[in-house]
Amino acid sequence: MPRYFIWTIGCQMNKAESRQIAGYLDSAGYRVTTSFSNADLVVLNTCVVRQSAEHKVLGTLGLLKGLKSKRPNLRILVTGCFVNSHPQELRRRFPHVDLLYKPGDYPELVAWGQKQGIPVEQRLPRYARNDSRAASPPCALIPIIQGCDNFCSYCIVPYRRGREASRPSEEIVCEVRELAGKGTEEVTLVGQNVDSYGHDLPGRPDLADLLSELSNVDDLVRIRFLTNHPKDMSLKLIETMASLDKVCEHLELPAQSGNNYMLKAMRRDYTVEQFRDLVHTIRHKIPHVSLSTDMIVGFPGETEEQFEQSLSLVREMRFDVVHVAAYSPRQGTVACREYQDDIPAEVKKERLNRIEELQTAIATEINSQLQGQEMEVLAEGKKGGKWFGRSRSNKLVFFEDAGDWLGQLVKIQIQKTSPWSLKGQVKK
């Protein structure tokens, strides 16, 4: 039986697509393996959001060139954001790669597979079906929209993934139904901007409509979605989220900065005031919602005062989680072309540390209030002998127990808290 290995870096979209590719290869009779060295087919699912990620991809392609010279039958496929709109140029630079295809372009993958004699079910639609006969994982990522139309000034994604293209809702519902039938209890709908889902489909269904449809899938217990864009999140979506039991009380809502001038330079198309109002509306409609955000520090021209406004926003909003990144210029973006990367590295690092320190203190306080509480956790697996899973509010919870809890909803009494995770025991 031929073996495959999928190397994935980058965002949740890539992870979701890798799962779909794995489903396709499983259904074609391939067996998964754990390294390049014993695989017959390798898929690189790439990210180039940061220059360092692109270097990692180039390094891995170099490694595979060496492997292929020793094992000419090794098949190498490359997808993800590394595959830009000039695939001919990439083919010329990397002749040892058998197929380069754009993220989500499953027909191209399948057409290549057919030429290689990899069997494919006739009913295969635009996406690679998860036809693996194996049980599905408790939690699955489901891509619902490809690409992005926003062109934030620092981001390369729209140039690599292209314009937004939504998957038809019937296709998504069908995939989720299949997964739920095989054991998946929680799905996370993913896209660069899930809030613009459906605007390019006939009848213009939106994310709220999709959530309502998915709520009717039997055996599915939880639904999440990410990432949201503050300028596109509608009241209808918030109200739908509040009204559907299966939709978890958790949102990823990137703020990026607490200063309007910076937001404008980033081309985010909302103001701090609008962001604040949106958070207040969400918290009013969904009282126990947990919020995660992203912040960028050291964007070109960011003054100490402007940075302090970001710090104030974090202090005021009391997010559950803050992912903070120091700005680094990405070739091919507007920010790289038009602005000078003028904030010294040590200043960026210091700003990043200050946000992280503040957030650690906030998360410590928020999580300590959960001490002694009972939480429903979906057990996803084991790490270091302990079970782990997430609560509806996306808190990572560990517990020790001799039972087999994989894929089960467990009531956990929280005994210990930290800013990053919780620990507890099964409530008998």
* Interaction of residue 155 with ligand SF4, rule CB under 6 A: yes
Cα gap 323→315, rounded to integer Å: 14
Cα gap 193→13, rounded to integer Å: 11
57 vs 152 by CB, closer to ligand SF4? 152
Cα gap 32→130, rounded to integer Å: 14
Question: Which one of residues 152, 253, 352, 377 is an interface residue with ligand SF4 (CB under 6 A)?
Answer: 152
Question: Which one of residues 28, 141, 144, 157 is an interface residue with ligand SF4 (CB under 6 A)?
Answer: 157
The two beta strands, 396-399 and 386-390, are: antiparallel
Residue 93 near residue 65, CB atoms below 8 Å: no
What strand order describes the sheet that includes 99-100? 31-32, 3-8, 41-46, 75-80, 99-100
* Interaction of residue 151 with ligand SF4, rule CB under 6 A: yes
Least distance in angstroms from the C-beta of 25 to ligand SF4: 28
193 vs 293 by CB, closer to ligand SF4? 193
Least distance in angstroms from the C-beta of 337 to ligand SF4: 15
41 vs 194 by CB, closer to ligand SF4? 194
DSSP 133-149: -SPPPSEEEEEEEES-S
Alpha helices (H) along 71-197: 87-93, 106-115, 157-161, 169-181
Q: Applying CB under 6 A, which part among 38-46, 75-83, 107-115, 149-157 lies near ligand SF4?
A: 149-157
338: helix, coil or strand?
helix
Q: Tell me the per-residue interface mask from 158 to 177 with ligand SF4, x by CB under 6 A, - otherwise.
A: x-------------------
Return the residues of window 198-237 that contact ligand SF4 according to CB under 6 A: 229
Q: Tell me the per-residue interface mask from 302 to 321 with ligand SF4, x by CB under 6 A, - otherwise.
A: --------------------
Cα gap 355→317, rounded to integer Å: 13
330 vs 392 by CB, closer to ligand SF4? 330
Our CA dihedral for 123, 124, 126, 129, rounded to 10 degrees, sits at 130
23 vs 191 by CB, closer to ligand SF4? 191
Return the residues of window 358-397 that contact ligand SF4 according to CB under 6 A: none
**Would you give the distance in Å from CA 398 to the centre of its chain?**
22
148 vs 414 by CB, closer to ligand SF4? 148
Q: Applying CB under 6 A, which part among 127-135, 144-152, 177-185, 393-401 lies near ligand SF4?
A: 144-152
One-letter amino acid identity for 335?
Answer: A
* Interaction of residue 192 with ligand SF4, rule CB under 6 A: yes
| Chain positions contacting ligand SF4, by CB under 6 A | 148, 150-152, 155, 157-158, 192-193, 229
